[in-house]
Structure 1
Amino acid sequence: MSDDSDTTTDGPTRRDTLKYGSALAAGGAVAGCSSLLNGDSTQETATPGGGSYSVTMAPTGEVTFDSVPDRWAPYCGAFADMGVALGHGDTMTGGGNLDEFYTYVYDEIPGVSAPSDAIESHPEVRSKEAFYELDNDVHFYDPAMLINWFDWSQRDITEISENVGPFLGNLIFRRSDDWHDHRYYTLYEAFEKVAQVFQEQDRYRAFERFHDEFIARIQSNLPPVSERPDVLLTYENTAEPETFSPYRLTDLGTSKKQWRDLGVGDALSGTGIENLSTTNRGELDYETLLEVDPDVILVRGHERKSPAEFRDVVLDYMRDHPVGSELTAVQNGRVYRGGYLHQGPVHNLFLTERAAQQLYPDQFGRVTGDEELFDRQRVADIINGDIDDA
């Protein structure tokens, strides 16, 4: 969208219960809009017992709410999963990039379901018209992403913020895009911001405790560093892969969290090969992969396949490839699905469990087995608000 887009809404702003920053009450101005993409990470204030409260997140800055939003939209599965984890999945209206919001994990959590209607009705909300149609109280979108990926202007961001609802989000799945010059957040730092918006700090803290205990338990059972594999994380969503887009595990984006927690080595270390980004679309061929010859290859883009389907389709093709068949990981059958790009707190539990079993079957069981490494019922209890013992 260009700067000369003039779509506006007549009359007062639609949300009397939502205000942008302290300047709105003082003089009718919308705080944060004139400098919307220069938000900092100052301490937010929250009032769980009622009244207005503020949440601050880069790049938007401070957003003040008079009540908990009851209509919301996320960009990507990470922020969608955060809303579900906090018990607010039923008020999600749609979102962006929801074709990569993998909801089958909720089938394993008793009494928890995906916001299927919202996903099916509005899976790609990226136009101003769609934002007006959904009439949400808050949008968990990084506004800088809308500008840099979808040709929005600052004027468009301001218009939707004033006439529909504020933006509060940050593209956190990778850290290699030049345009992302504002603060990044870890998965749980971003999750905490969403919890503050929904005033679900108790649920957030219960999730945080559960996550920390789970990761500590996993890490206490890892083999020595010298026995851990060097891993190549790639993206290639075709059934017959010929080239592979590289990811670097040293990139601190949230999409690599499970691999960092599991202490694996980056097979591309020292190669000079950069992480996939908006500007770096380079790909590796089989000859380059053979020079690196990683212990394990993780291929993203196949999350709709079961482990068996992935092996029968992708791994078997690599086994028949004249160069791919020479790779150590292929010969040892250590080529696996690489997990989602956009993971929230519930996703992360399942992806960490899967990754531990892919990489360390002697310690955690085989990925095709039925061993569970975390308590699904306890997760369900937290999501459903039963957190006294969580």
Structure 2
Amino acid sequence: MQRRAFLKAGSAATLAGLLAGCSSPDSDATSTAADSATATADETTAGSGSYSVSMEPVGDVEFDAVPDTVAVYESGYADMVVALGHGDALTAVGNSDRFHTDAYDALDGVSVDTSGLVDLVDAGVTRETLLDLDPDVYLMDPNWLTSTFELDRGDIDFLTQRSAPFLGNTIFRRTDAWHDYDYYSLYEAFETVAELFDETDRFDAFQSFHDSALDRLETALPSEGPRGALVWGGSNEPTSFSPYLLSGAGTNKKPFHDLNVRDAIADSGIDALSQSQRSEIDAETLLNVDPDVLFVRGHEDKTAAEFQDTVVSFLQNHDTAGRITAVENGDVYRGGPIYLGPIQHLFLTERLATALYDQVTTTLFDRAELASIITD
């Protein structure tokens, strides 16, 4: 095997414990994860030009060059790679339909060629598929792969030794029993990816831009927002819905937290969607919850007008759903991507802010300034 752009995935002990979790609880994990990642990334091997990046559950991964190619599963990580100016390094995503790139059209000079990306769901998430990708790094949580697909510890070890190291953490939700190690917030994970690509200055600029935008937004928002329900309802005429907890800490809930939306489902006794819980509720149950606003996922490929003409129109004419407060008042919106990255987060937060709050009437951030952070 030719020497790749990485040296090793930590020590032999780290590799042997690749799929072992830490015991920290979800609520206390993020600061520990961030501190560990930052401390490890600052340690370089003297005189060799190598550097180390750390992320649970794999731990330390040492590189001797910035990766030229990267395969991701959660497309929120793909959005991070684009945000750092390395979109051309992407070779694969878990599900191309969930990699929403329309925001890039508003940013001069920012684009990604998705035509050549391998869709791992279509190709089949197998040892052979992942080996054929032959990237410099698999930016994906190995425990996600072994808990979701027909892969095991031996497959992960084989791919690490024969192809490339794994570096990634399942961050889009926090409802999986197998995820018993540190979680990362969106920007903690983003910072780790920036360390991987040696783009910490660009990350710092992006984070500062994000913080300034949210600080401006906060001054316009009430401390208590509307009661909202987030559901999956992928059909144009949905009659059953898979509920999410808006109060959850997964990264795809960040825009709702930033907008002070309260969770109408949290205290209803309804089980939220997770890998082990595929709960569905009908319109009658949703009427009993009776949210002020309703966010429906599965429609990010539609424009607002298309969503209105299909999903919203159907719900308004439905005998039961039509009596839900959110539906009666026309407060039904697309729920945003499941896998959310930093660029997508800014655009989605702005979209929802202007829909939910009359006092938010202008753009949340300057497109040209954001584009220059990504491209300069």
Structure 1 length normalisation: TM-score? Answer: 0.88
Amino acid at match of 1:63: V
Name which of 356, 368, 383 aligns with 2:374.
Answer: 383
Confirm or deny that 1:207 pairs with 2:206. yes
Q: 1:76 and 1:114 mapped to 2: Cα distance?
A: 16
What is the total number of aligned residue pairs between the two structures? 359
C-alpha distance 22-276 of structure 1, shift in aligned 2 (>3 A)? closer
Amino acid at match of 2:306: E
Q: 1:124 and 1:159 mapped to 2: Cα distance?
A: 22
Verify the 8 A CA contact 1:300 1:337 in the aligned structure 2. yes
Confirm or deny that 1:165 pairs with 2:164. yes
Confirm or deny that 1:364 pairs with 2:360. yes
Amino acid at match of 2:155: D
- Give the superposed CA RMSD: 1.9
Secondary structure at 1:44's aligned position in 2?
helix
C-alpha distance 263-57 of structure 1, shift in aligned 2 (>3 A)? same
What does 1:1-390 align with in structure 2 at a 5 Å threshold?
Answer: 12=1, 14-21=2-9, 23=11, 30=12, 32-38=14-20, 41=33, 42=36, 43-46=39-42, 47=44, 51-119=49-117, 124=122, 126-225=125-224, 228-360=225-357, 362-365=358-361, 371-385=362-376
Q: CA deviation at 1:130?
A: 2.1
Deviations 1:193-233 (A, max 9, x none): 101111100011111100111111111110242xx210001
C-alpha distance 22-243 of structure 1, shift in aligned 2 (>3 A)? closer
Q: 1:223 and 1:306 mapped to 2: Cα distance?
A: 28
Q: 1:105 and 1:329 mapped to 2: Cα distance?
A: 27
Q: 1:101 and 1:60 mapped to 2: Cα distance?
A: 25
Verify the 8 A CA contact 1:39 1:60 in the aligned structure 2. no
Q: CA deviation at 1:102?
A: 0.3
Same amino acid, percent of matched pairs: 46
Q: 1:138 and 1:383 mapped to 2: Cα distance?
A: 22
Structure 1 alignment gaps of length 5 or more: 1-11, 24-29, 366-370, 386-390
Amino acid at match of 2:110: V
Amino acid at match of 2:72: P
Secondary structure at 2:272's aligned position in 1?
coil
Q: CA deviation at 1:134?
A: 2.0
Secondary structure at 2:40's aligned position in 1?
coil
Q: CA deviation at 1:84?
A: 0.5
Question: Between Structure 1 and Structure 2, whose CA radius of gyration is higher?
Answer: 1
C-alpha distance 188-161 of structure 1, shift in aligned 2 (>3 A)? same
Verify the 8 A CA contact 1:55 1:62 in the aligned structure 2. yes
Q: 2:164 and 2:112 mapped to 1: Cα distance?
A: 24
Structure 2 length normalisation: TM-score? Answer: 0.91
Verify the 8 A CA contact 1:45 1:53 in the aligned structure 2. yes
Q: 2:271 and 2:258 mapped to 1: Cα distance?
A: 21
Structure 2 alignment gaps of length 5 or more: 23-32
Match of 1:7 in 2: none
Q: 1:306 and 1:91 mapped to 2: Cα distance?
A: 29
Q: 2:343 and 2:193 mapped to 1: Cα distance?
A: 14
Match of 1:368 in 2: none
Q: CA deviation at 1:244?
A: 0.8
